[in-house]
Chains A and B, each alone.
Chain A
C-alpha cells in the first residue's frame, strides 16, 4: 500500500501443504535495497529460487553500475525474468514496493506469473486471500497517509482478510518503508 512518501508491505508467514500447516515463520518479503521491497506469494520452492536469483542479479547490478537499482527498473527486471520462463513459468505472484527518485515518490507494481505488469497508485494484493484483501483495502485505503496511519491501515486490512481465508494466517509481518529506513513489525494473528 502507498502513503505519502512511504510504502508498506504486509504478508502472513504461513507455509502449508494443502490443509496442513507446516511452518509458521516462512518469510516471503525481501529487501532489495534501501529503496525497494519485494514480496512474493505462490509456490514456495519458486519463491526461494527467485530470491536467490534476484539477489545474484542485484549484486551484479551494483558492481557493474556502481549504484543502487531503482524500484521501477527492478520491477521490469522481475517481469523479464518471469517472461523468460513463459512456457514453463514460475508459479508466483510478485509485488514490488519502493520509493522512486529524489523526492521519494511511492512506487507499486504487481505482476502475474508470466510478468504482466501493473502500476496502481493505491495498493496491490496477492495470494490465496487476494479477493478478501482487495475488498478490505478498497474500503480502508485513503490517499496521502502518513507512515503511522499507513501501518495501522495495512495491518488491519491484512488481519481482516487473513481471518476469512483458511490458507492464510499463523503469523504476519509488516514492513514500512520511508526515506528514513525500514520499520518491521510482527502482528499477533489467529493461529487456527
Chain B
C-alpha cells in the first residue's frame, strides 16, 4: 500500500503529525464545563441575539421569554462594528472603525479591531471581541511555529484554513467570530473571510459587521483592480467613514492599514466624525 507516511522521511512525518487534530489543535484544548450537555449550557450563558433566535426551538426554554434569558446571560456580546478589506494590484487594504456597543450603550470608542497575526498578515475583529482576540492570537502562535519548523512563511490560504478548522470544531458553542484574514504572500495579496459558523470564503473584497451594507455601497462603487495606492487607501477610509455615519453602532476612529510584500503598515488613524466634516468641506469647496 502506497501510503503517504511510507514515502516521506521521518522529519516530514513529524510535521504532518503535528498538524493533526489529536495533537496541536485538539478540540479539547479549551476547557468545557463538566456537565451533561455542555453545548446547551454554553448557549444559555451567551446573550447574543442571533443565537437566542436560532436556538429558541432547539433548547428547552420555551417558557422563558427572550428578554429574561438575555438578562440571565452572563456573557453580553459587544456587537456593532464595520470592518472591511480588499485586495488590489499593489497589495491589501484593511480599514476598521473602533466602536463597541452593548445594546445601545457605547461601551468604548477605542477598540483595536485589527489584530496582527504576523508581520505580513492581519486579522480583523468582528462579533465577540474576546473570541476574536483569542483565536487570532492563537493563529499567530500557530503561524510562528509553522515558520520555525518549516523555515518558510505560511501562506494566507493555509493560515486561514487552520483557523477555519479550529472554529468549525467549536461550531454551535456560541462563539461569535467574523474575521477576515488579510495578507500578502508568494501568490500576491490574499483575503479570506472566516466565520464562527465554519465558513471560509475567498474574494477580492469583504465588509463585515452591522455597518457593512453601508460600507459595501461606497466600496463596490469605487473598487477596481488597478487602483493606485493613494486611491485604494482613500477608498477604504471613505467606505468606513460612510458606514460610521449611517450606522449608529459603528464609529469612533477610522484606522487604515496596508499590506504589501514588505509586510503590514498602519497608514492612518482618524476620528470618524472629524473625517466626515472634512469630506463635507471638500464637497462644498468643489461646488
Contacts and interface: CB of A to CB of B under 8 A. Distances in A.
B273 A19 contact: no
A21 interface: yes
A164 interface: yes
A12 to B, nearest CB: 12
A16 B250 CA distance: 14
Interface residues of A, number: 18
A192 interface: yes
B273 A167 contact: no
B255 to A, nearest CB: 13
Contacts of A165: 104-106
B245 A164 contact: no
B106 A192 contact: no
B248 A19 contact: yes
A192 B105 contact: no
Nearest to B98: A192
B249 A166 contact: yes
A38 to B, nearest CB: 25
> What does DSSP make chain A's interface, helix, strand, loop or mixed?
loop
Interface in A32-88: none
A167 B104 contact: yes
A190 B273 contact: yes
Given A20-B246, A192-B99, A163 B106 contact: yes
B283 to A, nearest CB: 14
B250 A192 contact: yes
Contacts of A166: 80, 99, 101, 104-106, 248-249, 251
A19 B249 contact: yes
A167 B277 contact: no
Interface residues of B, number: 24
A192 B251 contact: yes
B106 A191 contact: no
B251 A190 contact: yes
Interface string B265-276: 000000011001
B245 A191 contact: yes
B272 A192 contact: yes
Contact of B105 (A164, A190, A191): A164
Contacts of B99: 166, 192
A21 B105 contact: no
A158 B244 CA distance: 20
Contacts of A169: 248
A26 interface: no
Given A19-B210, A164-B106, A165-B106, A191 B248 contact: no
A16 B248 contact: yes
Nearest to A131: B105
Contact of B248 (A163, A167, A189): A167
Contacts of B131: none
A20 B277 CA distance: 19
B247 interface: yes
Contacts of A129: 104
Contacts of B211: 19
A184 to B, nearest CB: 21
B189 interface: no
Top-7 shortest CB links A-B: A192-B251, A190-B273, A192-B244, A192-B272, A166-B248, A191-B276, A166-B104
Interface of A: 16, 19-21, 128-129, 132, 163-167, 169, 188-192
Interface of B: 80, 97, 99, 101, 104-106, 109, 210-211, 214, 244-252, 272-273, 276-277
Given A19-B211, A20-B246, A192-B250, 11 more contacts: A19-B248, A21-B245, A128-B104, A163-B106, A165-B104, A166-B249, A167-B248, A188-B277, A190-B272, A191-B272, A192-B272
